[in-house]
Amino acid sequence: MSPQHRRFSRRLVGMLAAVTLLGACTSTAPSAKPSSAPSSSRAKPSPSPTPPVVEVTPSDQSADVAPSTPVVVKASVGTLASVTVKDDKGAALDGALDSAGTTWTSKKFLRPAASYAVDIEAKGPDGTKGSVTSSFTTLKPTITATYGINYSGATVGVGMPVAIQFDSAVATKEMRAQVEKLVTVTTEPAVEGSWGWLDNRQLMWRPKDFWAPGTKVTVNAPLTGVQTGEGKWVANDTNGGFTIGDANISYIDIPGHTMTVTKNGQTMRTIPVSNGQPGPQTETRSGTKVIIERKADITMDSATVGIPEGSPGYYKVDTKWNLRVTWTGEFLHSAPWSVGAQGSDNVSHGCTNMSPENAEWMFNFSKAGDVVQVSGSGRQFLPSEGIGVWQYSFDDWKKQSALAAV
């Protein structure tokens, strides 16, 4: 018998000793002859109770248990009446009992660096009750992985995907697949879409086409206990979501030096612009971009995009009404110094230049997630250079999923 069984048996209550009753009686009628033989009766022994026998995994007093280990409670004799598993913060671990009532299995991963207590009530085949407790601790990660749901709580544009961003790489395809299996997106109304990885830190869910205005998006990311690298585990769950606002889509024609701004299909303004001058480092990228952030004031330093001070083309300038569309330094912004070229020539270092008045109007009109479609240059926008989910066809985007068939 295992140590768990012996401990369980010691805790069982209600054990009854067998009792045997013996007796004999003789009766003689007053006027009758003595009976030829005495009569006697013997009570049958009471059956011994059958206590339940329960096994718990992880075993009692286990240490450094991997958070991905399932908790399993199994009655090899009898059935389970109740199973409660709680961590040292009092949080209960979800689980389910099978239809036979003999096996309980946890539904979620465990929290790293935590202590767990298991309390079990069970019954033997004859109804004999028993209880047992067990405990274990989970491993302490070398690194605690963190992540967030971008733009949660905001009203965003029709091009904004759900974006779950990790602080560091999710190291393997198998680990990324595990993340995907656990996270969910719920939309109202329902929308077809797919998860995909822009890189090993950014998991995104995009609809097949741009969102419809008014769509409500809810994200559930119960990633506690997920391993993302060597010695690296997630220690918390996160939920979030956002609402889709008006369909603001702008079309930049690089050779035509214009930007046509639309709202829900209607043209709001056509703005003369100046884009990046010809050259491998300065030409504005073509492609479908999404506004990443809005900042009224920025100091733009070319050293941050690979043109250090002292090099040809170096610049450092304060700009206003900035709308970021790439992580590589492309913005839509005010450029009073290039007003003379706006509408007729491309003279910037890659940004889309506007007059101060047009830039302020555009800034106030726009929100994160609005779409900016750029055409007419020989330099393509790469998906990882910004929110690049729309650079893929929907079929190709689905291939970015870690769960996609190879």
Give the residue numbers annotated as catalytic, written as ranges: 333, 351
Contacts of 59 (CB under 8 A, 6+ apart): 3, 4, 134, 136
Q: CA of 271: how far to CAs of 17, 253, 288, in Å?
A: 96, 11, 18
Q: Are 225 and 233 in contact (CB under 8 A)?
A: yes
**Distances in Å between the alpha carbon of 27 and those of 35, 36, 304?**
8, 11, 115
Q: Alpha carbon 156 to chain centroid distance?
A: 20
Give the SS3 label for residue 186: strand
CA 295 to chain centre: 29
* Alpha carbon of residue 117 to chain centroid: 26
Helix (H/G/I), strand (E/B), else coil: 299: strand
Tokens of 64: 């450094």
Cβ atoms within 10 Å of 123's Cβ, excluding its own: 19
Phi, psi of 302 (to 5 degrees): -65, -15
- Residue 358 host element (H or E): helix 356-365
Half-sphere exposure of 377 (CA within 13 A, CB side): 27
Q: 116 burial class (0-12, 13-18, 19+ CB within 10 angstroms)?
A: buried
Burial level of 270, CB count in 10 A (0-12/13-18/19+)?
middle
CA angle 117, 122, 123 (to 5 degrees): 170
Contacts 24+ apart (CB under 8 A), 278-283: 278/346, 280/379, 281/306, 281/307, 281/313, 281/349, 281/350, 282/313, 282/348, 282/349, 282/350, 283/350, 283/377, 283/378, 283/379
Rounded CA separation 73/55 (Å): 6
